């Protein structure tokens, strides 16, 4: 199974590591081969290839897609290239893995979904494979928190406040599409849709603190979910004091579940069905053999990290591929998120409630 990775930045490293490690933790019939890494700067790509064990380097993604010996195209480029590359790769019959956000708009996402058809595909919403978050999903589905009332999510980073960072593809509209909306809100939106179901309407604002910056530095939104609960979302690059604080808290009639990526092995759980004198929030270390991926990585209590979320995403994708089973998150899931992000942008622009368009 020959892989071509397009992109060599932060996500290029995270994906390279996943290809390198996946066979160590998952029993796969066929291992992915790190065949080609592609990017614009040949010197930087050659360095990446040497460091992460890619066989070849390339600078022209179209030529890479044209290669018959490549089975998987993995897109880890700046956002604005996702749609064009994914559609070309799908037209060439490749399996396509795409970094988040799927696209810059739902319209592009629709075209990508149409192009991919029945070809295996994935969107790298890696946080779905944090064991503690998978445990949250299991318990929510089992009804442990009862009827959900509140869904509260934040994604707080602080690097936007660095006056030295004025350029770069993540800060320019042409290459990023938007700011925190596609970068951070997209992650917490994907988790919200997965954990708490569809959103019917949303009311959002965006804000830019640095004069002259093309994209928003922060976004706040409130939402109504189809299940009757209400939610709030906060995404910012000005969350001074928080480096990568991706959190959620769900309050239901029978309990509460909470998570914070800065302490990713733990899940907070409050069981409101216990006698009142025994009630209290527990902080569970989700590393027991009974927990998701509890026997995949290390022994109980031997915590895992950010990189394992990519290894686990890839491992489950390749297993699903071998078995011919469907995989999530896929392009359809990415499109559902994109529709919400479009609704956020519209709502912020016209200062009114908006619903996702289908």
Per CB under 6 A, residues contacting ligand SOE are 10, 100, 157, 183, 187, 244
Give the dihedral sign, CA 337/342/343/344. Answer: positive
225 vs 317, beta carbon nearer ligand SOE: 317
Q: Cα–Cα distance between 155 and 247 in angstroms, integer?
A: 6
Q: Cα–Cα distance between 79 and 218 in angstroms, integer?
A: 18
Question: How would DSSP label each residue in 312-329?
Answer: HHHHHHHHHHHHT---SS
Q: Residue with CB nearest ligand SOE?
A: 183
Supply the minimum distance, in Å, between the C-beta of residue 125 and ligand SOE: 9
Say what angle helices 131-141 and 186-196 make with each other, to 10 degrees: 30
b vs e for 133-150, b when ≥16 Cβ sit within 10 Å of the residue's Cβ? bbbbeebbeeebbeebbe
Are residues 95 and 72 in contact, defined by beta-carbon separation less than 8 angstroms? yes
22 vs 130, beta carbon nearer ligand SOE: 130
100 vs 339, beta carbon nearer ligand SOE: 100
| Residue 121, strand partner residues | 96
10 vs 228, beta carbon nearer ligand SOE: 10
183 vs 354, beta carbon nearer ligand SOE: 183
121 vs 157, beta carbon nearer ligand SOE: 157
Supply the minimum distance, in Å, between the C-beta of residue 185 and ligand SOE: 11
Radius of gyration of the chain (CA): 20
243 vs 349, beta carbon nearer ligand SOE: 243
The continuous run of DSSP H or E covering 4 comes out as strand 2-6
Supply the minimum distance, in Å, between the C-beta of residue 189 and ligand SOE: 12
10 vs 209, beta carbon nearer ligand SOE: 10
Supply the minimum distance, in Å, between the C-beta of residue 168 and ligand SOE: 11
Please give the biggest Cα pair distance in the chain: 67
Supply the minimum distance, in Å, between the C-beta of residue 338 and ligand SOE: 15
Supply the minimum distance, in Å, between the C-beta of residue 174 and ligand SOE: 17
Supply the minimum distance, in Å, between the C-beta of residue 293 and ligand SOE: 18
> In Å, how far are 97, 208, 230, 292 from 316, measured between CA atoms?
13, 38, 32, 12
Q: Residue 61 class from Cβ within 10 Å (0-12 exposed, 13-18 middle, 19+ buried)? A: buried
Are residues 289 and 300 in contact, defined by beta-carbon separation less than 8 angstroms? yes
**18: nearest Cα among 84, 72, 92, 80:** 72
Supply the minimum distance, in Å, between the C-beta of residue 350 and ligand SOE: 27
Supply the minimum distance, in Å, between the C-beta of residue 182 and ligand SOE: 9
244 vs 296, beta carbon nearer ligand SOE: 244
Q: Cα–Cα distance between 272 and 252 in angstroms, integer?
A: 9
Q: Is the peptide bond before 171 cis (omega within 30 degrees of 0)?
A: no
């Amino acid at each position: 199974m020959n892989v071509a990775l397009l992109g060599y930045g932060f996500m290029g490293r995270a994906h390279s590591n996943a290809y390198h490690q996946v066979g160590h933790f998952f029993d796969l019939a066929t291992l992915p081969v790190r065949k080609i890494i592609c990017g614009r700067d040949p010197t930087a790509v050659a360095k990446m290839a040497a460091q992460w064990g890619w066989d070849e380097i390339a600078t022209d993604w179209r030529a890479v897609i044209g290669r018959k010996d490549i089975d998987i195209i993995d897109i880890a480029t700046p956002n604005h290239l996702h749609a064009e590359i994914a559609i070309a790769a799908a037209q060439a019959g490749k399996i396509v893995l795409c970094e988040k956000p799927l696209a810059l708009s739902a319209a592009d996402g629709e075209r990508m979904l149409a192009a991919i058809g029945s070809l295996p595909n994935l969107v790298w919403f890696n946080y779905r494979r944090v064991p503690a978050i998978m445990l949250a999903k299991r318990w929510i589905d089992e009804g442990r928190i009862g009827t959900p009332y509140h869904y509260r999510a934040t994604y707080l980073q602080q690097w936007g406040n660095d006056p030295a960072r004025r350029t770069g593809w993540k800060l320019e509209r042409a290459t990023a599409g938007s700011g925190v909306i596609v970068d951070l809100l997209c992650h917490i939106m994907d988790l919200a849709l997965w954990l708490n179901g569809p959103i019917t309407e949303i009311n959002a604002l965006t804000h830019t603190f640095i004069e002259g910056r093309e994209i928003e530095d922060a976004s706040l939104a409130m939402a109504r979910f189809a299940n009757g609960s209400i939610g709030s979302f906060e995404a910012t690059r000005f969350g001074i004091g928080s480096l990568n604080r991706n959190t959620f808290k769900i309050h239901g009639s029978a309990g509460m579940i909470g998570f914070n990526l800065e302490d990713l092995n733990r899940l907070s759980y409050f069981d409101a069905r216990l006698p009142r004198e025994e009630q209290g929030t527990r902080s569970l270390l989700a590393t027991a053999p009974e927990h998701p991926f509890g026997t995949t990585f290390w022994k109980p209590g031997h915590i895992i990290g950010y990189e394992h979320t990519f290894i686990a995403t890839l491992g489950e994708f390749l297993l699903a591929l071998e078995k011919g089973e469907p995989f999530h998150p896929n392009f359809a899931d990415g499109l559902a998120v994109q529709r919400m992000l479009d609704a956020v942008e519209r709502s912020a622009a016209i200062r009114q409630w908006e619903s996702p368009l289908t």
